[in-house]
Structure 1
Amino acid sequence: MSPKPSQSGSPAPEAQEKRKRVRDPEGRRVAIIGAARSVFAERGYAKATIREIARRAEVTHGLVMLHFSSKEQLFLAAVPGTRDLADSVKGDVEGLAARVARAYVERMESADSADPFVALLRSAATDQDAAKALLRAMREESLGAYRTVLDSPDVAERVDLLGAYLIGVTFSRYVLADGPLAAMSADKLTRHLTSTLHGVLFD
């Protein structure tokens, strides 16, 4: 059925606006990401659904999947974490460990339950399949970022070790929040992380 024309013969303003939105894929993508941030923040990673995100963004489920191939990819695009990793690794190789350590600590000191590391740990306790899917997506995103500055043949293994180490730090300091690691100052933690991450990446 064709849009009802206005008295001037042109489509009504509502139809024009609808067509404008349809022809604005970047605007739809922004709307999807905004809705995803809200849903993930309210419900957590495990309980959030693509269908609810689509409803809030006023798009179809299929359009969400057209922009983002999976719930995991949408999550990583919508929340801080691996989304910022590409910016963290940019620069000279010598300062890589320090940049990653500093970016991780700065983010986690103000992070909430929507951070990928925290979401991974929380979902592992209730849904291991979801946790594995999120871990795989995080691994792929991280590896892609690190390969822009590292060309060692074992870079995949090193990035996986680095991720495992940071997951452990996240669990102790930011989830359980107990013990000497949790009580450590942010500056001291950054120094320790810089040393350890340098070893993981280069030794």
Structure 2
Amino acid sequence: MGPDTKKRIRDPEARRAAILAAARSVFAERGYVKATIRQIAQRAGVTHGLVVLHFSSKEELFLAAVPGTRDLGESVQGDVEGLAGRVARAYVARMESADSADPFIALVRGAADDQDSAKALLRAMREKSISAYLTVLDGADVPLRVDLLGAHLIGVTFSRYVLADGPIAAMSPDELTDYLTMSLRGILLGCPGRP
């Protein structure tokens, strides 16, 4: 057995969990573009066909493996007034516990290298996010608000977790959560006088 080959796993839930764990590590190490389903299958100790059976595409596997897209529904659910705080807390908690090899951070870092893949993943993440936020928010501009939210969080991710420089990077997690709650409230719930 090679270094990345493990004993085959028979339990379907355990196999799915192994695939997701392997995907997170392979995407983080190699980036979205260079990662292959075969590498992920080998690392998970399953066949290529089994990965494709659980996840029909590399894009779907990436979206399932990245914690922020997976757990979005949980942080969105609840009262509208507390929405910004829940989203800010979930984002900061996830990103503070992530390391620099986190798949989402790797995607933000590598976006300039393969813009087509980055655009496709951003579109897929946007669609998932819009669906989640439509369960709590209403209005014709929800897709625009969700897109602004995504752009804001990508910018924070780049400043704090990729470049790790400047005032945003210097904030404590609690300060970042407070400031994000304030800015996300404006994006998600709107400001007085908004058209």
Per the normalisation by structure 2, the TM-score is 0.83
Residue identity in the other structure for 1:157? L
Residue 171 of structure 1: CA displacement?
0.7
Q: Which of 39, 61, 74 is the matching residue for 1:87?
A: 74
| Counterpart Cα distance in 2 of 1:133 and 1:68 | 16
Q: Contact between 1:81 and 1:116, CA under 8 Å: does it hold in 2?
A: no
Q: Contact between 1:82 and 1:138, CA under 8 Å: does it hold in 2?
A: yes
| Counterpart Cα distance in 1 of 2:83 and 2:33 | 32
Q: Name the structure with the higher helix share.
A: 1
Q: Does 1:180 align with 2:167?
A: yes
**Structure 1 counterpart of 2:60:** 73
Q: What secondary structure sits across from 1:132 in the alignment?
A: helix
Q: Contact between 2:31 and 2:107, CA under 8 Å: does it hold in 1?
A: no
Q: Unaligned 5+ residue runs, structure 1?
A: 1-17
Q: Unaligned 5+ residue runs, structure 2?
A: 1-7, 191-195
**Structure 2 counterpart of 1:121:** 108
Q: What secondary structure sits across from 1:86 in the alignment?
A: helix
Q: Tell me the number of residue pairs that the alignment of Structure 1 and Structure 2 aligns.
A: 183
| Counterpart Cα distance in 2 of 1:34 and 1:101 | 25
Report the aligned-residue RMSD: 2.1
**Structure 2 counterpart of 1:56:** 43
Residue 140 of structure 1: CA displacement?
1.8
Residue 55 of structure 1: CA displacement?
2.4
Q: Does 1:45 align with 2:32?
A: yes
Residue 116 of structure 1: CA displacement?
5.0
Larger Rg: 1
| Counterpart Cα distance in 1 of 2:165 and 2:21 | 33
Q: Contact between 1:102 and 1:190, CA under 8 Å: does it hold in 2?
A: yes
After TM superposition, the runs of 4+ consecutive aligned structure 1 residues lying more than 4 A away are: none
Residue identity in the other structure for 1:187? D
Q: What secondary structure sits across from 2:90 in the alignment?
A: helix
Q: What secondary structure sits across from 2:82 in the alignment?
A: helix
Note the alpha carbon deviations across 1:118-150, whole angstroms, 9 max, x for none. Answer: 132112121112211221221122122112211
Residue 27 of structure 1: CA displacement?
4.1
Between the aligned residues of both structures, percent identity stands at 77
| Counterpart Cα distance in 2 of 1:116 and 1:36 | 9
| Counterpart Cα distance in 1 of 2:135 and 2:102 | 23
Q: Does 1:194 align with 2:181?
A: yes
**Structure 2 counterpart of 1:9:** none
**Structure 2 counterpart of 1:8:** none
Q: Contact between 1:80 and 1:115, CA under 8 Å: does it hold in 2?
A: no
